[in-house]
Structure 1
Amino acid sequence: MKELRDIARLSDRFISVELVDESLFDWNVKLHQVDKDSVLWQDMKETNTEFILLNLTFPDNFPFSPPFMRVLSPRLENGYVLDGGAICVESLDPRGWAHIWMGQSVRSIRLFAASTVKGSGRICRKAGKSKKSFSRKEAEATFKSLVKTHEKYGWVTPPVSDG
């Protein structure tokens, strides 16, 4: 509830939240703005995309474990957005999560925005693929694989020979 109040207090219209089925544990978050000097912001303007829609699902033991965060729409490429809309950001990994920080959900959303820009995230415009929805099942499988990779190698890119 505190995390939700923190977002409601934001006056910069950076993000807005809607509860999914009135559940405090399942949020749809609209990210209304990314760095205005980025190609992603340019893509948003060119495609009339008003926001990036994220979904955050909070575990029963939150804030001691991170929420599962994924992109719902638009379909993004690069920018640490992976299959199914899974997000590769260290602070959302169970080992990288720091529950002691207040407003961690807001911080994670802002970090996602910065990482996506830094990683040259773009709105997918490929015919056929751009309209295909991200799937939760695919995102969860991708994230699970991602966590295993980072547990093995840390937060570095593993050698191609290791898969």
Structure 2
Amino acid sequence: MATLLRKIGLIRLHNRDTEDPKHHHHHPRQQGSSLRGRGSHKPPPQGGSGSSEGSSPKSKKAAELAKPPGKEKAGRDAGAGPSPGSVPPAVRQPHCTQVRSRRLMKELQDIARLSDRFISVELVDESLFDWNVKLHQVDKDSVLWQDMKETNTEYILLNLTFPDNFPFSPPFMRVLSPRLENGYVLDGGAICMELLTPRGWSSAYTVEAVMRQFAASLVKGQGRICRKAGKSKKSFSRKEAEATFKSLVKTHEKYGWVTPPVSDG
């Protein structure tokens, strides 16, 4: 019995100790202090608050579903950078402009040194990429040369504009004055010459060479200065020339650089 009473007393003593308010007040503060002490030396996980909810499978799945479609792929693509050997457009464009400028400067110098004064050049609004070219000479045995003498026409004036990727693409070339008939000169002053098309062009062609070819085609095509009343005073227009040139290129791409049969239009 005495032993049983001692056991009961020990149990009561134990219960009293665990229920002591002082003991409960001291224990949580000590535990909290210990957690804060450990936590102050451990950085929180990246991308979250460190709470248990942020690391649960459900929250991870919800975060994945909340991502915009294609964002992860875009991130990989952006991080990968340009493919080897590719040139960004921002770099490629200035390079093309430099190539075009150097080439045209050289051509201007070469034309200025021509001994026969075959052609001369004036820049339009001081632009290196927009030229008015005066053709001073054609075959002196041609009817066109005779027309030029009879009408006191000192030169045939043409306009050449050079695209950004010149000399790898041809210039756009058209006649400004006088108004010509035949000689492969079409509506608006457009010129029917294969070498002025992307398919027929070569970066080796110079402006001088193009102009000499044009002078030859004028004579070969029996070009004449228009003297018809009313029509001879009508100026060529760039808009009409561009439309005409686009149409003739399309036609020649279909039929080749030969005159298509009348039945085919």
The TM-score, its normalising length taken from structure 2, stands at: 0.60
Gaps of 5+ in 1: none
Q: Residue 95 of structure 1: CA displacement?
A: 0.5
Q: 1:45 aligns with which of 149, 154, 179?
A: 149
Matching residue's letter, 1:127: A
Q: Deviations over 1:4-63 (max 9, x none)?
A: 222112121110000000111100000011000000000000000000000000001000
Q: Which moved more, 1:87-96 or 1:130-139?
A: 87-96
Per the TM alignment, residue 161 of structure 1 is displaced from its structure 2 partner at its CA by 2.1
The aligned amino acid for 1:30 is: K
SS of residue paired to 1:130: helix
Tell me, in whole angstroms, the C-alpha distance in 2 between the residues paired with 1:45 and 1:116.
16
Could you tell me which residue of structure 2 aligns to residue 160 of structure 1? 262
Q: Aligned-pair RMSD on alpha carbons?
A: 0.8
Instruction: Specify the SS of the correspondent of 2:131.
Output: strand
Letter in 2 for 1:145: S
- For residues 1-163 of structure 1, the aligned pairs below 5 Å read 1-101=105-205, 104-163=206-265
Shift >2 Å, 4+ stretches = none
Residue segments in structure 2 that go unaligned for 5+ positions in a row: 1-104
- Highest Rg: 1 or 2? 2
Flag the structure with more relative contact order, 1 or 2, with Cα contacts below 8 A and sequence separation at least 6: 1
Higher strand share: 1
**Residue type matched to 2:252 in 1?**
H
TM-score normalised per structure 1:
0.96
Cα shift at 1:115: 0.2
How far did 1:162 drift?
2.1
Alpha-carbon distance in structure 1 between the residues aligned to 2:260 and 2:108:
37
Counterpart CA distance in 1 for 2:107 and 2:164 is 14
Q: How many residues get paired?
A: 161
Q: Percent identity among equivalent residues?
A: 89
User: SS at the partner of 2:129?
Assistant: strand
